[in-house]
């Protein structure tokens, strides 16, 4: 009985962190963002050597067969490095959708390719999870999809798509239509818009699969923000130990050290919340929605606080493109809104406990 | 992470439930009818002093995160009172376990656990608050005794206590932190005067304590002469844990949810107001974070791995959270939230109003929020100390 990471989990954190330090240094992130690359195949290939694309995929299909906690730990490391990777769509949501609701033939066709990193999967569930904007939304009829999906995850260069229709049903699209990039504040995660016009699709058979996908996505986004926030705290502390003003390092001024303490005080307990939310997804599914919602909303709130506070500790230099702190600031900002901002997500936490309109 | 509910754990949960049902008559609305009898009952059953060795009056169980959690959950669900949690039980007993002599452990821990000895903490002085190590209450050696004079402030339960654990200056020539000893003082010793200190709650939760030539045997020093600062820091670590206890916070949140579900304004349940509901959810996320952080701390206490930041932040975050829970309760009550003392419209006997005020005191006491931030920044993040002001 222990509430702590196992040796294997610590090893995973360590190896993903080390791999990312080599694969995704700031120069690589900057190149991806500046050139608006659609994908970063070099990074994904490197992470595939660790088995990251197949983390959640059962061993029978060539994956590692691990749980959402391991995925959250990987996401934390990816967030810490603001790595441009298709982890959320390709390695978490699409494999989950296929495992939960795919036919044997669908699983046999796609899971091994996803596990090896050979195929990329886009996920279009924003409307079904967080509400439709600008007339987006997907109608499904007679094995065909029509309508527009916004904020598609990992949709550029996708070999397959997982799409949610207006009623919450999930579909597999094996001939994805062209995806148009949606420029966002966070140029390290590419979002896209996809228009479906009688696009052939196969329904995936499970009623609650969309909710499971949503919960998993919330946990992974929370974990990413945790990693990005921790990186911003570490950078602020390192800077406060080195930058001198008034003849002393600024970290010796209480006005500055208290900002650092406040960030740490927010982040450290949140780590346990993210761990447990991820653990509950696999081991206590009845608690999963409440925990996932709280993890997503809470990390959104403290993430915003840490992002601005770390920038302030850096002073003017924190605002510059040269330093690059803004990549973390923006990743945290994007994660906050993706698949529902904190106010809407908390409403679902309340609903899941029967606190709404009884 | 391994929180699997084995059949053994399911049995344990049933055992706790059965205990709480069997003894349902001994408590009411979260309060024991006879605090000491309840405390003895809990120790006997292993729900208080659970991991303290039997020879010192505890239950002597191996630490177990999940069992601790199950006990907490079932007590919260039954609205049953946990054991006593005064300064003696939560702070002195663990301190003696860590640094006390064998004789001190045998003499003091068991009656303290049973609630037979109430302790108070003699730390702060009028001139030594956040700068605790500048304390000036002095203890002068005289034969086998120390003779103590000076005064202490913010001493909660001093008017009820039989004993005080107290910081005194025994080596006036030594450096500030090295001249202090940690001494156990009987409160009935001649020369001690206790004066109640009334606070904004309208009650005297604190006292001032004055010492005029109070004689205490030198054998009552814990951890060695001049080692008081080290011992005090052991105690302060336990105080941080006690003041930020996530189980207490969680119980409080449960009461707030109940209030918001039952209380109505203009026919509408408070929880149906989307703004207040959203605030409730924000606090619930924080309570969950502190709960799981607490499980992490329990695990590191068992495995012996350093808890690091996860432990250092508990007092700051827990006390702030308690205050915010009380603040939301006041806002949920609205006009009813300004009533106090007594009257037909007062809810929960004014507990929320009192908490809102008293919890602010706990943000200040036990090391202010600002001191906590210094500790987090310096010990947790390795930031340099504020340079000492130039000597004048």
Domain boundaries, chain A: 7-116, 121-204, 209-352
Q: Do B293 and A249 touch (CB under 8 A)?
A: no
CATH of A7-116, one of 1.10.540.10, 3.40.250.10, 3.90.1150.10, 3.90.226.10: 1.10.540.10
Q: Do B277 and A356 touch (CB under 8 A)?
A: yes
Collect all residues of chain B within an 8 Å Cβ-Cβ radius of residue A309.
Answer: none
Q: Do A301 and B271 touch (CB under 8 A)?
A: no
**Cβ of B262 under 8 Å from any chain A Cβ?**
no
List the 56-115 stretch of B: residues with Cβ below 8 A of A. 64-67
Q: Do A254 and B289 touch (CB under 8 A)?
A: no
Query: Are the C-beta atoms of residues A116 and A54 closer than 8 Å to each other?
Result: yes
CATH of A209-352, one of 1.20.140.10, 3.20.20.70, 3.90.1150.10, 1.10.10.10: 1.20.140.10
**Cβ of B299 under 8 Å from any chain A Cβ?**
yes
Collect all residues of chain A within an 8 Å Cβ-Cβ radius of residue B381.
Answer: 237, 257, 260-261, 264
Question: Please, which pLDDT band fits residue B233 given cuts at 50, 70 and 90?
Answer: confident
What pLDDT shows up at residue A148? 98
Q: Is the pTM of this model over 0.90?
A: yes
Select from B1, B313, B317 the Cβ nearest to the Cβ of A4.
B1
What pLDDT shows up at residue B129? 92
Cα separation, B175 vs A328, in Å, equals 46
Collect all residues of chain A within an 8 Å Cβ-Cβ radius of residue B386.
Answer: 252-254
Asked whether the predicted pLDDT for residue B236 surpasses 80, the reply is no
Q: Do B285 and A6 touch (CB under 8 A)?
A: no
A192 exposure class (CB count in 10 Å sphere: 0-12, 13-18, 19+): buried
Q: Which residue has the tokens 């850096």?
A: A314
- Parallel, antiparallel, or unpaired for β B119-122 and A137-141? unpaired
Going by C-beta distance under 8 Å and a sequence separation of 6 or more, which residues neighbour residue A263? A229, A232, A233, A236, A305, A306, A309, A310
Please give the CATH topology (third level) of the domain spanning A121-204.
Butyryl-CoA Dehydrogenase, subunit A; domain 2 (2.40.110)
Q: Which residue has the tokens 């007092």?
A: B315
Domains of chain B with bracketed CATH: 7-84 (no CATH), 118-226 (2.40.110.10), 244-380 (1.20.140.10)
Cα separation, A221 vs A230, in Å, equals 14
Q: Do A261 and B300 touch (CB under 8 A)?
A: no
**Cβ of B290 under 8 Å from any chain A Cβ?**
yes
Select from A3, A241, A355 the Cβ nearest to the Cβ of B65.
A3
Q: How far is CA A107 from CA A94, A98, A111, A152, in A?
A: 11, 6, 5, 22
Asked whether the predicted pLDDT for residue A358 surpasses 70, the reply is no
Q: How far is CA B365 from CA B67, B124, B338, in A?
A: 31, 10, 25
Å between B362 CA and nearest CA of chain A: 17
Going by C-beta distance under 8 Å and a sequence separation of 6 or more, which residues neighbour residue B358? B199, B201, B205
Q: Do A258 and B377 touch (CB under 8 A)?
A: yes
Question: Please, which pLDDT band fits residue B77 given cuts at 50, 70 and 90?
Answer: confident
Of A148, A152, A145, A154, residue with least CA distance to A175? A145
B62 given a catalytic annotation: no
Collect all residues of chain A within an 8 Å Cβ-Cβ radius of residue B4.
Answer: 1, 283
Tell me how crowded residue B270 is: count the other CB atoms within 10 A of its CB.
Answer: 22
Assembly ipTM: 0.96
**Cβ of B301 under 8 Å from any chain A Cβ?**
no
> How confident is the model over B351-380, as pLDDT tens digits?
999 999 999 999 998 889 999 999 999 999
Select from B281, B313, B374 the Cβ nearest to the Cβ of A350.
B281
**Neighbouring-strand partners of residue A163:** A124, A171
Grouping H, G, I as helix, E, B as strand and the rest as coil, residue A174 is coil
Cα separation, B278 vs B331, in Å, equals 13
> How confident is the model over B86-110, as pLDDT tens digits?
889 988 999 999 999 999 999 999 9
């Amino acid at each position: 009985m222990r509430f702590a990471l196992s040796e294997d989990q610590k090893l995973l954190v360590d190896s993903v962190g080390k791999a990312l330090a080599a694969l995704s240094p700031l120069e690589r992130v900057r190149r991806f963002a500046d050139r608006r690359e659609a994908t970063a195949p070099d990074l994904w290939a490197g992470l595939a050597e660790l088995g990251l694309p197949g983390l959640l995929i059962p061993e029978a299909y060539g994956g590692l067969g691990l749980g959402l906690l391991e995925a959250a730990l990987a996401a934390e490391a990816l967030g810490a490095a603001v790595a441009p990777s298709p982890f959320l769509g390709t390695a978490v949501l699409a494999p989950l959708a296929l495992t939960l609701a795919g036919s044997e033939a669908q699983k046999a066709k796609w899971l091994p390719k996803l596990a090896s990193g050979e195929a990329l999967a886009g996920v279009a569930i924003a409307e079904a999870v967080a509400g439709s904007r600008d007339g987006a939304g997907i109608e499904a009829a007679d094995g065909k999809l029509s309508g527009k999906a916004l904020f598609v995850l990992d949709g550029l260069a996708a070999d397959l798509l997982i799409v949610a229709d207006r009623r919450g049903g999930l579909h597999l699209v094996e001939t994805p239509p062209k995806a148009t990039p949606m420029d966002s504040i966070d140029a390290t995660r590419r979002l896209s818009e996809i228009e479906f016009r009688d696009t052939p699709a196969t329904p995936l058979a499970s009623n609650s699969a969309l909710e499971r996908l949503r919960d998993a996505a919330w946990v992974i986004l929370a974990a990413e923000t945790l990693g990005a926030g921790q990186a911003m705290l570490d950078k602020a502390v390192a800077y406060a130990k080195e930058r001198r003003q008034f003849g002393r390092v600024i970290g010796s001024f209480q006005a500055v050290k208290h900002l650092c303490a406040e960030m740490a005080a927010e982040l450290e307990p949140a780590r346990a919340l993210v761990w447990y939310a991820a653990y509950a997804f696999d081991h206590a599914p009845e608690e999963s929605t409440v925990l996932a919602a709280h993890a997503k909303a809470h990390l959104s709130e403290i993430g915003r606080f840490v992002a601005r506070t770390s920038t302030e500790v850096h002073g003017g230099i924190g605002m510059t493109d040269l330093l690059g702190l803004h990549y973390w600031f923006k990743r945290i900002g994007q994660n906050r809104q993706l698949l529902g901002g904190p106010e809407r997500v908390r409403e679902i936490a309340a609903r899941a406990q029967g606190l709404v309109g009884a | 992470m391994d929180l699997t509910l084995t059949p053994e754990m399911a049995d344990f949960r049933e055992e706790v439930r059965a205990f709480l049902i069997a003894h349902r008559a001994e408590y009411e609305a979260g309060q024991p009818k006879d605090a000491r009898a309840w405390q003895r009952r809990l120790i006997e059953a292993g729900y208080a002093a659970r991991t303290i060795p039997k020879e010192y009056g505890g239950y002597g169980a191996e630490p177990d995160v999940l069992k601790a959690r199950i006990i907490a959950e079932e007590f919260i669900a039954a609205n049953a009172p946990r054991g006593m949690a005064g300064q003696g039980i939560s702070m002195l007993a663990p301190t003696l376990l860590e640094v006390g002599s064998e004789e001190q452990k045998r003499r003091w821990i068991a009656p303290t656990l049973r609630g037979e000895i109430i302790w108070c903490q003699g730390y702060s002085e009028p001139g030594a608050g956040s700068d605790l190590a500048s304390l000036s209450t002095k203890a002068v050696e005289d034969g086998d005794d120390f003779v103590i004079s000076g005064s202490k402030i913010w001493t909660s339960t001093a008017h009820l206590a039989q004993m005080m654990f107290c910081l005194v200056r025994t080596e006036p020539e030594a450096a500030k932190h090295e001249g202090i000893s940690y001494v156990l003082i009987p409160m009935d010793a001649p020369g001690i005067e206790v004066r109640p200190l009334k606070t904004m709650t309208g009650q005297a939760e604190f006292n001032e304590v004055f010492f005029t030539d109070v004689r205490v045997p030198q054998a009552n020093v814990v951890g060695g002469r001049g080692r008081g600062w080290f011992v005090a820091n052991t105690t302060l670590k336990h105080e941080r844990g006690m003041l930020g206890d996530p189980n207490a916070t969680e119980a409080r949140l449960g009461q707030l949810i109940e209030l918001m579900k039952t209380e109505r304004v203009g026919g509408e349940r408070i929880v149906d107001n989307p703004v207040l509901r959203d605030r409730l959810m924000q606090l619930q996320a924080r309570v969950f974070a502190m709960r799981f952080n607490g499980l992490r701390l329990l695990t590191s206490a068992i495995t012996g791995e350093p808890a690091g930041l996860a432990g250092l932040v508990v007092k700051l975050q827990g006390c702030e959270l308690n205050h915010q829970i009380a603040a939301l309760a006041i806002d949920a009550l609205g006009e009813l939230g300004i009533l106090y003392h007594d009257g037909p419209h007062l809810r929960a006997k004014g507990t929320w109003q009192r908490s809102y005020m008293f919890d602010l005191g706990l943000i200040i006491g036990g090391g202010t929020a600002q001191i906590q931030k210094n500790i987090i920044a310096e010990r947790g993040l390795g930031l340099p100390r504020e340079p000492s002001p130039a000597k004048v």
